[in-house]
Amino acid sequence: MTLKKPLVILLHEIYGVNDHMEYYKVIFNDAGFDVMVPNLLDRKPFHYSEEAEAYTYFMIEVGFEKAELIIEQIINEQKQFYEDIYIVGFSIGATLAWLCSEKSVSAVFAFYGSRIRQYLHINPKVPTVVYFAEKEKSFNPQIILKQLQQKNQVYTHLVNKSHGYMNPFDKKFDKLAADESTNEIFRWIKL
């Protein structure tokens, strides 16, 4: 029997399942969703001051291929219970969410996934909403957005904020922009 209540799978940044993920788990739970937050690192979270270590750990110990397989397995297991499954990812998790846009989920929401630029061959099969912060240190989001806008099922937003604007524990957090983006997700997913 499938549940009418939708499932949101939250995909974390390089730091792991930390306060940022717990914050959004509560937000989505309070809005009426069931929420899963898989620990793709399979360890305790890194502190924000350990950015370089966290990045290296993710790239060497996990990587996109392994993480995508883990998420795909979760999706396949949960499909027997949920009619609608939504993926919401942040940074590395956003790139993984983008990779899930070819899977059998209901929609994907990807926040500042800079590595999406390495996977432009992906053609989403479900509505895929991509948010890029205007201020990125590692790439020019406008170039990627132009390419993404040519794809079917892709909806793009360039937010006049910095990478991390969705994270209430980051100095770049912007509550107004974060609330607007979250409310937009809720409008896409009408409960």
Chain segment 49-86, per-residue pLDDT in tens:
999 999 999 999 999 999 999 999 999 999 999 999 99
In-domain check, residue 175: yes
User: So what's the pLDDT on residue 131?
Assistant: 95
As a whole number of angstroms, the distance between CA 183 and CA 92 comes to: 22
In-domain check, residue 2: no
User: So what's the pLDDT on residue 94?
Assistant: 97
Q: What is the count of structural domains for the chain?
A: 1
With bands split at pLDDT 50, 70 and 90, how would you rate the model's confidence at 190?
Answer: confident
With bands split at pLDDT 50, 70 and 90, how would you rate the model's confidence at 2?
Answer: low
The enclosing domain of 179 has a CATH number of 3.40.50.1820
User: So what's the pLDDT on residue 9?
Assistant: 98
Positive or negative CA dihedral for 105, 20, 189, 184? negative
User: So what's the pLDDT on residue 134?
Assistant: 87
In-domain check, residue 179: yes
The tens digit of pLDDT for each residue in 125-176 reads 999 999 998 877 777 888 888 999 999 999 999 999 988 999 999 999 999 9
User: So what's the pLDDT on residue 1?
Assistant: 62
User: So what's the pLDDT on residue 3?
Assistant: 65
Q: How far is CA 52 from CA 48, 55, 67, 154, in A?
A: 9, 5, 19, 31
In-domain check, residue 79: yes
User: So what's the pLDDT on residue 67?
Assistant: 97
CA 72 from centroid of its chain's CA atoms: 14
As a whole number of angstroms, the distance between CA 31 and CA 26 comes to: 8
In-domain check, residue 1: no
Q: Which of 146, 145, 157, 162 is nearest to 181 (CA)?
A: 157
User: So what's the pLDDT on residue 137?
Assistant: 76
In-domain check, residue 84: yes
The tens digit of pLDDT for each residue in 76-134 reads 999 999 999 999 999 999 999 999 999 989 999 999 998 999 999 999 999 999 999 88
In-domain check, residue 185: yes
Long-range contacts of 98-107 (CB under 8 A, 24+ apart): 98/122, 98/124, 98/128, 98/130, 99/64, 99/68, 99/71, 100/68, 100/71, 100/72, 100/75, 101/125, 101/126, 101/128, 101/153, 103/72, 103/75, 104/75, 104/79, 105/75, 106/6, 106/189, 107/188, 107/189
Q: Which domain holds residue 33?
A: 7-190
In-domain check, residue 14: yes
